[in-house]
């Protein structure tokens, strides 16, 4: 059944769960823990070209990590907790309606290295597709660093096969970086 094209896109639910995860909007009380979680991703800097700023979590929670022309009310930071232990194992950043209104943008998905390769990122993506459908989104998009081969493999395996853009440096070197936009229909 095709959705009514006039239906407005909503927002992903404040909280939800998968088989193993509790996924909920991040709150300022988690700021220090979220900062440590993001800093745990600093090993990616050789692949994506940036290191976590000292105030990343607090700025993300107060201002949002917004795309060009974005507004704070369309941004959500999500905390990913393991149900069994209530331990924070990952972070997710979403923007509702970028670059078009019907697109849910995944700005950041990171599972701590201690919890990778257990299917938690896959569960998170499946959850996002379910929620995106409920909120009337037609597509989900993600930007992936071209040097981040594990992420490229992950998103490809999850059906993100449509290339929708390339941004970044035009010449390859150890100190240059570029990303591709990948998309999948909801």
Please give the share of the chain, as a percent, with pLDDT higher than 90. 81
Local structure of residue 158 (DSSP, 8 states): T
DSSP lists the bridge partners of residue 139 as 103, 185
Nearest to 14 by CA among 107, 131, 109: 131
Instruction: Give dist(CA 144, CA 156) in Å, integer.
Output: 11
* pLDDT tens-digit readout, 49-90: 778 889 989 999 999 999 999 999 999 999 999 999 999 999
pLDDT of residue 4: 44
pTM: 0.90
| Superfamily covering domain 15-185 | Gcn5-related N-acetyltransferase (GNAT) (3.40.630.30)
* pLDDT tens-digit readout, 141-169: 999 999 999 999 999 999 999 999 999 99
Domain locations in the chain as residue ranges = 15-185
Q: Which residue has the higher pLDDT, 46 or 57?
A: 57
pLDDT of residue 45: 74
């Amino acid at each position: 059944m095709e959705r009514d094209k006039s239906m407005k896109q909503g927002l992903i639910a404040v909280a939800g769960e998968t088989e193993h995860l509790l996924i909920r909007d991040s709150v300022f009380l988690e700021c220090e823990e979220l900062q440590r979680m993001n800093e745990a991703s600093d090993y990616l800097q050789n692949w994506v070209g940036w290191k976590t700023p000292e105030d990343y979590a607090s700025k993300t929670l107060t201002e949002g990590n917004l795309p060009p022309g974005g507004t704070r009310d369309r941004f959500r930071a999500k905390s990913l907790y393991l149900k069994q232990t209530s331990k924070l194992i990952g972070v997710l950043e979403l923007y509702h309606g970028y670059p078009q209104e019907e697109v849910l943008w995944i700005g950041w998905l990171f599972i701590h290295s201690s919890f990778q390769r257990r299917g938690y990122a896959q569960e998170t993506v499946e959850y996002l597709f379910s929620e995106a459908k409920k909120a009337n989104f037609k597509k989900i998009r993600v930007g992936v660093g071209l040097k981040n081969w594990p992420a490229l493999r992950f998103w490809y395996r999850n059906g993100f096969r449509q290339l929708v853009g390339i941004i970044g440096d035009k010449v390859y070197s150890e100190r240059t970086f570029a990303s591709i936009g990948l998309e999948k229909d909801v």
